[in-house]
Amino acid sequence: MHKHSHEVTNENEKKTLIVIIFTIIAMAAEIAYGYITNSMALLADGYHMGTHALALGLTYIAYILIRKFKDSPKFPGGTNKIGMLAAYTSSLFLGFTGIWIILEAIERLVNPLKIEFNEAILVAVIGLIVNAVCIFIMEGKHNGDCCEHSEHEHHHHDEEDYNFKAAYYHILADALTSILAIGALVVGKYLNILCFDSIVGILGGILILRWAVGLLKNTVVILIDMKKG
């Protein structure tokens, strides 16, 4: 079990680093073109991707610390909660970003700007493709093979991999936001409903907030050793 968990953790660490690189490139492109094209939906998707880049960065750092201190006497109870703390911290940043996006979208709704739809749609599609690639990279063992072990080992393995699972669901949420952004831009371009872009920005912000709250609840339960039910 210990050897199996160590191998899975190392593999997840490598996957996380690859996904971080893809995410940062896509984030920079979306934010830059979002400002150039004045698309709130694209900016929301870009900043949303930025929160995931931060979450993935925390995930990667947590894996490094877990590996470094896995046999340290300073952590007699194990290093699993390092990952929980990373997930908890990323959820806080996620929540603040969601609030900012909602406020910015409301501002754009009140004071709309001209949107360059063709460029915005192109970059949003690229962002979605990057998300799809990241999901494919991460999906390999995100469910793990822990079902073959005892209940105690299953619980231990779940805690150890929770950090990776949180990062995986961040990417899933980001892909959904990309789809919403593309939909808003297409509607704005062909139906000339410009407010729909800002509305989707608000929906994207709400989605981020809901994810942040869910992640906070899940990590707090483990961090304070709270029994479910």
Concatenating the DSSP letter of every residue in 40-62 gives HHHHHHHHHHHHHHHHHHHHHHH
Question: According to the model, what pLDDT value does residue 5 have?
Answer: 55
Q: Does residue 229 form part of some domain?
A: no
pLDDT digits (tens, 9 = 90+) for 24-67: 988 888 888 888 888 777 787 787 778 778 778 888 998 888 88
| Residue range(s) defining the domain that contains residue 141 | 2-223
Q: How many CB atoms lie within 10 A of CB 56?
A: 27
Residue 174 in domain:
yes
Angstrom CA distances, 146 to 141, 153, 156, stand at 10, 8, 9
DSSP, collapsed to helix, strand or coil, labels residue 82 as helix
| 228, part of any domain | no
Average pLDDT score, the chain: 77
Helix, strand, or coil (residue 171): helix
Structurally, how many domains does the chain consist of?
1
Measured CA to CA in angstroms, residue 188 lies from 114, 140, 168, 173 at distances of 11, 37, 31, 23
Residue 112 φ then ψ, to 5°: -65, 150
Cβ atoms < 10 Å from Cβ of 70: 16
Q: What is the C-alpha to C-alpha distance for residues 79 and 86, in angstroms, rounded to an integer?
A: 12
Q: What CATH number is associated with residue 68?
A: 1.20.1510
144: tokens are: 């793990």
Full-prediction pTM beyond 0.75? no
